[in-house]
């Protein structure tokens, strides 16, 4: 199956960093990897790459050199049909719907600011696993069956994730479940 496996590890929220791991089997020898310069619903060019550090790509446990083509794109050559593992870290300190934020109370993750696009895998299926702090709940619009599932990269990055200890109010409209999540609600409300 042509699926891309993504893991987001933010189990130490005080670090305010997400460790991203992406695994896939390349079809072609030439690979192009980029971080979006956009955020769903926003028409401003962004520089999400400024928050990324310690990028590594491995195949057969060997480091593969990534060549930076532009501020948000890297290219490389690999062996086709052998698993690639891309790992990097993202600083998450800006509380906005267009970026990602983590602190000791909650995480608000805009996936276009976190997830690099593997150009040849844009229309592949994606599975997403979240490694969050103990006791935190994860909320997103993605379907869940052992992992969160997305039909392609675009659906994945258009599905923000909120994680933490929340007050959740559930309601239904036309048999469709909706949730309002909130945290740190004052006692007088």
- pTM of the predicted model, to two decimals? 0.92
CA distance 39 to 27: 27
Phi, psi at residue 119, to the nearest 5°? Answer: -50, -45
CA distance 137 to 163: 5
CA distance 12 to 23: 22
CA distance 92 to 107: 9
Is the separation of the CB atoms in 51 and 89 below 8 Å? no
**Structure confidence at residue 187 (pLDDT):** 59
Tell me the sheet residues that pair with 127: 5, 149
Look up residue 130 and give its two tokens: 């979240």
List C-alpha distances in Å: 40 to 20, 95, 104, 150, 157.
20, 16, 26, 15, 8
CA distance 156 to 94: 21
Question: Which H, E and C letters describe 79-111, residue by residue?
Answer: CCCCCEEEEEEEECECCCCCCCEECCCEEEECH
Burial of 110 (0-12, 13-18, 19+ CB in 10 A): buried
CA distance 18 to 132: 10
* pLDDT above 90 (res 107): yes
* pLDDT above 70 (res 159): yes
**Structure confidence at residue 179 (pLDDT):** 87
Q: What is the mean pLDDT of residues 68-95?
A: 95
**Structure confidence at residue 188 (pLDDT):** 53
**Structure confidence at residue 125 (pLDDT):** 98
Q: pLDDT category, 46, cuts 50, 70, 90?
A: confident
């Amino acid at each position: 199956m042509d699926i891309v496996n993504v893991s987001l590890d933010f189990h130490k929220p005080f670090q305010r960093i997400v460790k991203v791991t992406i695994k896939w089997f390349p079809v072609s020898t030439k690979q192009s990897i980029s971080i979006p310069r956009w955020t769903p619903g926003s028409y401003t060019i962004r520089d999400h790459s400024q928050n990324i550090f310690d990028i590594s790509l491995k195949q057969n446990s060997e480091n593969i050199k990534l060549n930076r083509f532009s501020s948000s794109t890297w290219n490389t050559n690999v062996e086709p049909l052998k698993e690639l593992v891309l790992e990097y870290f993202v600083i998450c300190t800006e509380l906005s719907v267009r970026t990602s934020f983590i602190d000791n109370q909650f995480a608000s993750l805009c996936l276009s600011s976190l997830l690099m696009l593997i150009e040849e895998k844009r229309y592949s299926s994606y599975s997403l696993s979240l490694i969050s702090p103990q006791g935190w709940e994860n909320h997103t619009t993605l379907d869940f069956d052992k992992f969160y599932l997305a039909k392609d990269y675009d659906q994945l990055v258009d599905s923000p994730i909120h994680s933490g200890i929340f007050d959740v109010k559930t309601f239904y409209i036309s048999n469709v479940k909706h949730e309002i999540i909130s945290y740190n609600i004052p006692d007088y409300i």
